[in-house]
Amino acid sequence: MTKHGEYSHIEYPADDLERAKRFYGNVFGWQFRDAQGFENYALYESGPGDLGGGIGLRGQNAPEAVRNYLTVDDIDETVAKVTANGGTVVTPNTDIGFGSYAAVTDSEGNEIGIYKAKPQG
């Protein structure tokens, strides 16, 4: 489990999901599985215990550009800190079943995701 401020996952947009999965699978050996409850979205692992993420349709269920996600202890508290320090909110706190996320920009306009997993158990 990642801690506050550590990378949790990376999300890639694709114009053709199957083509992108073939590319990353053939070039880097990534394994994919469909994300339950999400149409045209797949989860990937880059290797056992390695950072993974998701790949979805650009602008539909994935961002327009690659988005790095950082783990946070509290989405709303982090969003408040982002805006207090010159960042903006792109996507507000959103429940996705197995956790929640928000997309924000930093003070330089770079888009990042912040993510909090639901407790297991």
Q: Where are the domains of the chain?
A: 7-117
- What is the CATH architecture assignment of 7-117? Roll (3.10)
Tokens 């993974």 -> residue:
52
Beta-ladder partners of 68: 10
Query: DSSP per residue over 42-100, as a string?
Result: EEEESSTTS-EEEEEEBTTTB-SS-EEEEE-S-HHHHHHHHHHTT-EEEEEEEE-SSEE
Q: What is the pLDDT of residue 28?
A: 87
Supply the pTM of this predicted model.
0.86
- CA dist., res. 20 & res. 101, Å (int): 24
Q: What is the pLDDT of residue 72?
A: 96
Q: What is the pLDDT of residues 59-111, one digit of tens each?
A: 999 999 999 999 999 999 999 999 999 999 999 999 998 899 999 999 989 99
